[in-house]
C-alpha cells in the first residue's frame, strides 16, 4: 500500500471549517483514500473514503486532487468533539490491512 504524509498537528477554531491535508504521491490507480479518526483512547472511527471523485457524507467531505497525489478532509463546522487524531490511509479494496501512520492531531479551540 502507498504511504501517506500528514502534518503532525493542527488547530481549528470552533465553528470554522477544518481542512486536513494528506499527501499520497505514490498512490496507484486501484487504491482508495480512507479517513479515520481516533478520539482520545477510543477505537478508530470511520469517516469517509473515495477513489477519485469528491465525496461527502454527514460527517465530512473528501476532496481528491485530479492527479490523486493528495487529498483534503473537510469538517465543515468543527466542534470541540471533533478534537481527535485523524488518519489518512490508502488501500486497495482487496488488501487485508489498514496501514495507520501517526496521523494529524486536530485540536478544536473554543
Q: How many residues bind other proteins (CB under 8 A)?
A: 20
Rounded Cα–Cα distance for residues 14 and 88 (Å)? 22
Please choose, from the candidates 54, 63, 79, 53, the residue with its C-alpha nearest in 3D space to the C-alpha of residue 19.
Answer: 63
Q: Check: CB of residue 53 under 8 Å from CB of residue 4.
A: no
CB of 14 to other proteins, least distance (A): 25
CB of 6 to other proteins, least distance (A): 11
- Does 7 engage in binding with other proteins (CB under 8 A)? no
Rounded Cα–Cα distance for residues 1 and 38 (Å)? 21
Instruction: Write each residue from 11 to 50 as x if it is in contact with other proteins (CB under 8 A), else as -, in one continuous string.
Output: ---------------------x-x------xxxxxx--x-
- Does 86 engage in binding with other proteins (CB under 8 A)? no
Amino acid at each position: 500500500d502507498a504511504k501517506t504524509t500528514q502534518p503532525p498537528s493542527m488547530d481549528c477554531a470552533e465553528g470554522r471549517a477544518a481542512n486536513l491535508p494528506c499527501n499520497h504521491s505514490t498512490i496507484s490507480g486501484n487504491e482508495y483514500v480512507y479517513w479515520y479518526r481516533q478520539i482520545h483512547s477510543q477505537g478508530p472511527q470511520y469517516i469517509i473514503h473515495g477513489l477519485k471523485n469528491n465525496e461527502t457524507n454527514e460527517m465530512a467531505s473528501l476532496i481528491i486532487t485530479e492527479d490523486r497525489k493528495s487529498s483534503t478532509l473537510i469538517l465543515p463546522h468543527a466542534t470541540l468533539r471533533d478534537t481527535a487524531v485523524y488518519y489518512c490511509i490508502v488501500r486497495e479494496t482487496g488488501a487485508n490491512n489498514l496501514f495507520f501512520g501517526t496521523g494529524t492531531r486536530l485540536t478544536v479551540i473554543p
